[in-house]
Chains A and B, each alone.
Chain A
Amino acid sequence: MSTFGYHRDLISHLVRRDLTLRYHGSAIGILWSLAIPVAQLVVLVFLFQKVIPLGIEFYPGFLFSALLPWVWFTSCLGSAGGLFVNNRALLWQTSFSPFVLVLVNILANLVLFLMLLPLLFLLLLAHGTPVTTAWMMVPGLIAIEGLMLFGLSLLVATLNVFYRDVQQVVNLGVFLLFYLTPVFYRVDALPETYRALYALNPLGALIESYRMTIFYGQSPHLWPVVVAATFAVLAAGLGVAVYRYRLHDVMDVV
């Protein structure tokens, strides 16, 4: 069998295994993965429509179209640190390449993302938002986010083997990033000076592009996509470089 065929089979098996294990022994199984984002959605909608109204039209759709890529991002990075540390059994198999675990984690979380997508479609259709050709850009945005996640996860998974703080720092960063990324608010409501700063947040740029295509039904602006894609390429390059440089140490320490 070719290396490609081998890795395709291996990754698809491990993704399935990952999803099985995640909800092992629970009654509703994989449905739990839908429960948390939906609960988050409900709470935020209540908060920013009733408690502190932001005055955004069709707020649930506005929020959900950004929450989905955000949840994919956080769930991948939140578990990246443990990928090498907690999978010694797999790392100790002959001819197993550890980076496979990073791909598996990203893909398993992507499956959950894709399971929530129809829910978003239904929400938008129910509200009468027109389906436009702009939606065809979504796979491209997913690819950019996937590349970004691959680089960052590889970096976190590798470094966390040597310093366990890495995951803690990442968790803190992700927590803060939720407020610094326009997930539940919009940037154009902010003063000009802040907006310039926001333009440099690659995740923010990416999430704005998702919202532009899914919620507003328009092609995303070029500039945010370029920022996000450039960052994704740099992150992937850095992740791969660090991984390759430290891999044999990882195998000795784990």
Chain B
Amino acid sequence: MSHVLIAESVWKQFRLHRDRPHTLQEALVRRMTGRWESPESFWALRDVSVTAREGQCVGLIGHNGAGKSTLLRLLCGIGRPTRGAIARRGRVSGLLDLGRGFHPDLTGRENLLTGGILAGLTRRQVTEREQEMIAFAELEDFIDQPVRTYSTGMYLRLAFAAATHCDADVLVIDEALAVGDARFREKCLARLRAFRDAGKALVLATHDEGQVRALCDDVIVLDEGQLVMIGAPDAALERYRLLLEERTERRAAELAGGAPLVEPVEGEGKRTGTREAVIAAVRLLNASDREVEALVCGERMTIQLDYGLAAKVTDVIVGVGLYSEGDVKCFETLVQSARVAFGPLGERGRFRCELGPLHLLPGRYYVNVALYAPGWTHIYDSHWHMHSLMVLDGGGPLDGRSGVVALRADWSNEK
């Protein structure tokens, strides 16, 4: 299989915005007062090489500011690398910078037409495909409304439909699948898989471990503009986690001048983070909101986190996971932005996560909770194996069942 996208040793330098004079007056004043320093600049990408073959999905993971978006832009041909070269074969379609691709005053249909013509289709080709795109986006009732009236989800659906129906050979997607409801996300994943199976190449930047595992053949880990590794999804995700911890360590050292970051806790637990946001208490509640340490299999459970935020912190990523004693992840749920989900956060507060009936087999589990900095740049506070949960036998016939999930297993025999 041949390569459709080759980026060779790409470097990209940006001048820092705050140092750029916006008006002639500023520029002149600087020149006359002799403060005409060469503008501060930074390298967003340093010596990054990427290739994508036909039928390959390349994942791109890294914290915010690691250079993912810059790399995707350059792959799409928007701007050019400061050093290095990028070669493309065939048509590249990009789903970047969601929320800017459409004109707000034009209808969905008019925007599809512009998008299609920009992508190189003729007017007739767009009209022929229009129905298919609208049906995929499930926007039949809204397609003749101006796009500014759309919700984020509708906007995403339209953008996704437009980008995947224009005969591109390479599809470059930046975090686009982070929004939208679960059902539509599945539909998108299926479409991307079909796209890949049809011999097209995909480049996908994401924070979502599930998507990385479900779609990607190879994953690139970027950190501070440098390529850290290319490898299989599991190895890459592990590396990404280690980088997150390293950055947390550095950040904690900056903040407290070398205060202990990993606090020893009793048992095998571990507490990590810079503590700019703190999980003050974790409570497990039963169906009647009473604090418990053990629950009966099938009983309802709520996890409650008391948190405190330092003054500068305005948003957090919240994660709650259930792990078995053998470290199998049974379940995890993430709030990618507490601010978006719940509005402005107070200095102290409480997150509640109602899990409903707990269908776990009896045994000992850990409730692992964590607060992360927006964009996954570092860990604020992570409680690993610090809170245990006993799931008790409800008295039903449990003989011969093992594993993690408590399913019913009603046996019978037909003769």
A residues lining the B interface (CB < 8 Å)? 1, 6, 9-10, 13-14, 17, 20-21, 24-25, 88-96, 162-166, 248, 251-253
Report yes or no: B117 in contact with A91, Cβ–Cβ below 8 A.
no
Partner of A92, one of B15, B101, B110: B101
Residues of B within 8 A of A93 (CB): 94, 101, 115, 118-119
Interface of A is mostly: helix
Report yes or no: B22 in contact with A89, Cβ–Cβ below 8 A.
no
Report yes or no: B79 in contact with A251, Cβ–Cβ below 8 A.
yes
Interface string of B99-112 (1 = CB under 8 A from A): 01111011000100
Residues of A within 8 A of B91 (CB): 94-95
Interface string of B112-124 (1 = CB under 8 A from A): 0111011110110
Q: How far is the CB of A92 from chain B (nearest CB, A)?
A: 6
4 more A-B residue pairs beyond the given contacts A89-B103, A163-B27, with a C-beta to C-beta distance below 8 A: A1-B120, A13-B123, A93-B119, A94-B91
Interface residue range, chain B:
35 or more
Residues of A within 8 A of B122 (CB): 1, 9
Check B92 for interface membership: any CB of A closer than 8 A: yes
Report yes or no: A21 in contact with B114, Cβ–Cβ below 8 A.
no
The distance in angstroms between the C-alpha atoms of A2 and B220, with both chains bound, is 35
B residues lining the A interface (CB < 8 Å)? 14-15, 20-25, 27, 73, 76-80, 91-94, 96-97, 100-103, 105-106, 110, 113-115, 117-120, 122-123, 172
Report yes or no: A163 in contact with B118, Cβ–Cβ below 8 A.
no
The distance in angstroms between the C-alpha atoms of A20 and B105, with both chains bound, is 10
Are A163 and B23 also in contact (CB < 8 A) when A1-B122, A13-B123 are? yes
Are A10 and B79 also in contact (CB < 8 A) when A94-B94, A163-B22 are? no
Report yes or no: B103 in contact with A95, Cβ–Cβ below 8 A.
no
Partner of B120, one of A88, A91, A95: A95
The distance in angstroms between the C-alpha atoms of A155 and B106, with both chains bound, is 29
The distance in angstroms between the C-alpha atoms of A212 and B378, with both chains bound, is 72
Report yes or no: A92 in contact with B78, Cβ–Cβ below 8 A.
yes
A-B pairs with beta carbons under 8 Å apart, 30 shown = A1-B120, A9-B122, A9-B123, A10-B117, A10-B118, A13-B113, A13-B114, A17-B106, A17-B114, A20-B106, A20-B110, A89-B100, A92-B96, A92-B97, A92-B100, A93-B101, A93-B118, A94-B76, A94-B78, A94-B92, A94-B94, A95-B91, A95-B120, A162-B20, A163-B22, A163-B23, A163-B27, A164-B23, A165-B23, A252-B15
